[in-house]
Structure 1
Amino acid sequence: MTAAPTLPAAPAGRPDHPHRPPRQLRWLLRLHRPAVLVWTAFVLVTGAALLWLGGPLTDASAAAWKEYNACAFAERCSYDQDAIVRYKDVYSYTTIALLAAPFLVAAWAGGSLTGRETESGTARLAWTQGVTPARWLAARLALPAVLVAVSTGLLVHLHRLAWTAGEGRIDTAKPWYDFATFYANGTVPVALALAGLCAGALEGLLLRRSLAALTTATVVLGGLWATVHTALPHLWPTVTRVSSLRDGPSGTGITTGEGVLTADGDRLTAPCSSGMIPGCRTELADLGAVNFYRDVHPVAHYWPLQLTASGVLLAVAALLVLAAFRVLRLRTAGPAGKGGPA
């Protein structure tokens, strides 16, 4: 009796191979290795500066301010002025670096992630190797989104720790409602960076020119942030603080409006800021003013404003992703067939 013939094993390199997505991610990391290294260096340097800021620099500056305040009105006072200036400078530089991070992401996404690949033909080559355009774009958005969200979130956390360490200890520390500090301490930079990633990817697909996409994505992100910044005070109901004419307007936080109240409850523009000034007292009396008022967001509104603004940015990012997939589908739905360029 003869043995039954043995069937040959099925080839392992088919287009639907289950290990294709990991290969795409490895190729993505290899293709954009310089950008990954630069971004890693940026995060490490900025993070180290923030740790330095929240530790030794804060302690040295707080000690210097304590010495300065102990001098009172003495003619000669000995304190470490360099420590105060150094803290202020490092705080400013790290805050600027953190707020610039979303623009770096947008520029890279437009200029390299999709712009350069569509311009050079690398994307078209991938589509001819069994990778569908939709999967190609999904791979280029998923991994960078995770890396950007985690690294930007880490920098935000370190910035908030550094700011908290100096709160109440350093006389020149920025208040929470200083807009640069407000943004750098919350979730807005993370959402803005993700929106920048999506805007850059869309511009790269639309323009198919790396330099043009880089520039346009940066401008679009700047316009988006300016819009959110303008709308931010109106994303959550304000609190009205009413004060006497003698005391003037009161209430600290993000101010959206102030003026005077009449006996009928009308709101009028305040001609001056205190009834203690003789000329001001006369002007307020002519208006029939009885109180000052100020519409303000107190510190309790910090996280509602942050989360609402971040939600708006994430919604915009989702729309940009949908638009990117739509543009890609239209560009690759030509007569060349599946995955072929139009």
Structure 2
Amino acid sequence: MTAPATTGTPAAPVRRPSASLGLVRTVLRLHRPALYAGAGLFAVLTGLLLWLHGPAMDAAATAWRQYDHCQEAACAYDQDSLLVYKSFSQYATIAVTCVPFLVAAWAGASLFGRELETGTARLSWSQSVSPARWLAVKLALPAALVTAGTSVLVLLHQRTWRRSQTRIDTAKDWTDALTFHANGPTTVALALFGLAAGALTGLALRRSLAALALSVLCTAAVGLGTGLALPHLWPTVRTVTDLHHNGPTGVGITVDEGLLTSTGGHLADPHCGSDLSTPCRELYAKLRAVGFYRDSHPYSHYWPLQWVAAGIVLALAALAVLTAFRLLTRQVGAAPKEARR
């Protein structure tokens, strides 16, 4: 008689730690100084914007009310509060618009350039992490932090600017170039482009200093190009006035202006003034001008312009990321095989 056969219990599979999670911890550990510096900058700018939104603006608004109610040449008002608010609001606006360039410099020099220059990247690739996964994690994690941090700063800046429009007489108008971008998603989009540019230049140059310079230069070029193209990204509104005015009229961002002729043509504004003066009337008659025109963007076009410009910058960022992945594949070839147990 034979003993019944027994079936062995299969061993439970051993769970190996995720390579991506390990890489996330490695990225955070390697770039801890930059993380601390970024958190410190975020805290300082957040505090500054909250102060401008609250106590500083209240003090400046009170000073403006005092000044507006002055009836005498010598009048007492809190001039220091006005000057402090004006200066620090400008500093805050400049700081928010400079965030994309700081991101580009860090990404090109430290996040990618230095790791490729020192060989840290290849060490990661030898630890069961494919180059593609390495690049994806090093882009995704900073992108999430950059998007969240920059979005908060932009929202705070916009809320502060909105509150200042009815309270501070010298507050910047929405057409001011720095204010325009500091209030909207173009700054967030440009920060993400700076990150993508840093990845691409770091992979291409493999030198931290050169990658820093080139990534900042690329980000500046895209920012400048976007600013130049922005007035042409949305249809304008035309304001036509007669020649009794001193020139073209209209509000917002001016795209084009000049004289309208009787044949429907457009001429440059000679800046003569109203046709109520004899020389100007004779000049306009010679030019066959019938009125002034101005093509411009009113405030209602602010968000369409912002979103179209931000979409273009994000498309360029996606193109830079795609190019970085293709360049990495060409440089290192296939992903390394996982180490055997």
Mark yes or no: TM-score above 0.5: yes
Distance 1:273 1:59, change over 3 A: farther
Could you tell me how far apart the structure 1 residues matched to 2:13 and 2:167 are? Answer: 70
Give the one of 204, 207, 210 matched to 2:205.
207
Please state how far the C-alpha of 1:272 moved relative to its aligned partner: 1.4
Is 42-51 or 56-65 further displaced after alignment? 56-65
1:145 paired residue number: 143
Q: Is the 8 A contact 1:272 1:280 kept in 2?
A: no
2:237 paired residue number: 239
Please state how far the C-alpha of 1:320 moved relative to its aligned partner: 0.4
1:263 partner amino acid:
S
Equivalences for 1:16-31 in 2 at 5 Å? 17=17, 19-31=18-30
Equivalences for 1:59-78 in 2 at 5 Å? 59-72=58-71, 74-78=72-76
SS of residue paired to 2:238: strand
Please state how far the C-alpha of 1:6 moved relative to its aligned partner: 6.5
SS of residue paired to 1:201: helix
Q: Is the 8 A contact 1:271 1:284 kept in 2?
A: no
1:279 paired residue number: 279
1:158 aligned to 2:152? no
SS of residue paired to 2:127: coil
Equivalences for 1:260-271 in 2 at 5 Å? 260-271=259-270
2:322 paired residue number: 322
Distance 1:279 1:70, change over 3 A: farther
1:288 paired residue number: 288
1:13-40 superposed Cα distances (whole Å, 9 cap, x missing partner): 4xxx5x2221111111011000010001
Is 116-125 or 246-255 further displaced after alignment? 246-255
Could you tell me how far apart the structure 1 residues matched to 2:290 and 2:77 are? Answer: 47
Please state how far the C-alpha of 1:7 moved relative to its aligned partner: 6.2
SS of residue paired to 1:79: coil
Please state how far the C-alpha of 1:98 moved relative to its aligned partner: 0.3
Give the one of 102, 117, 137 matched to 1:104.
102
Could you tell me how far apart the structure 2 residues matched to 1:245 and 1:37 are? Answer: 61
1:298 paired residue number: 298
Q: Is the 8 A contact 2:258 2:266 kept in 1?
A: yes
Please state how far the C-alpha of 1:262 moved relative to its aligned partner: 1.3
Please state how far the C-alpha of 1:263 moved relative to its aligned partner: 1.7
Please state how far the C-alpha of 1:168 moved relative to its aligned partner: 2.1
1:49-82 superposed Cα distances (whole Å, 9 cap, x missing partner): 001111111111111111111114x221111111
Is 269-278 or 301-310 further displaced after alignment? 269-278
TM-score, normalised with respect to structure 1: 0.93
1:43 paired residue number: 42
Q: Is the 8 A contact 1:127 1:133 kept in 2?
A: yes
Could you tell me how far apart the structure 2 residues matched to 1:320 and 1:339 are? Answer: 24
Seq. identity, % = 50
Could you tell me how far apart the structure 2 residues matched to 1:188 and 1:279 are? Answer: 46
1:57 paired residue number: 56
Give the one of 125, 133, 136 matched to 2:134.
136
SS of residue paired to 2:240: strand
Could you tell me how far apart the structure 1 residues matched to 2:96 and 2:221 are? Answer: 18
Could you tell me how far apart the structure 2 residues matched to 1:320 and 1:75 are? Answer: 60
1:69-111 superposed Cα distances (whole Å, 9 cap, x missing partner): 1114x22111111111111101110000000000000000000
Could you tell me how far apart the structure 2 residues matched to 1:326 and 1:311 are? Answer: 23
RMSD (CA atoms):
1.7
Could you tell me how far apart the structure 1 residues matched to 2:298 and 2:267 are? Answer: 22
Q: Is the 8 A contact 1:271 1:280 kept in 2?
A: no
Could you tell me how far apart the structure 2 residues matched to 1:45 and 1:295 are? Answer: 40
1:113 aligned to 2:141? no
TM-score, normalised with respect to structure 2: 0.93
Please state how far the C-alpha of 1:3 moved relative to its aligned partner: 7.3
Count of residues in Structure 1 that have an aligned counterpart in Structure 2: 332
2:157 partner amino acid:
H
Please state how far the C-alpha of 1:9 moved relative to its aligned partner: 5.3
1:339 aligned to 2:336? yes
Unaligned runs of 5+ in 2: none
Could you tell me how far apart the structure 1 residues matched to 2:191 and 2:263 are? Answer: 48
1:133 partner amino acid:
P
Could you tell me how far apart the structure 2 residues matched to 1:56 and 1:252 are? Answer: 31
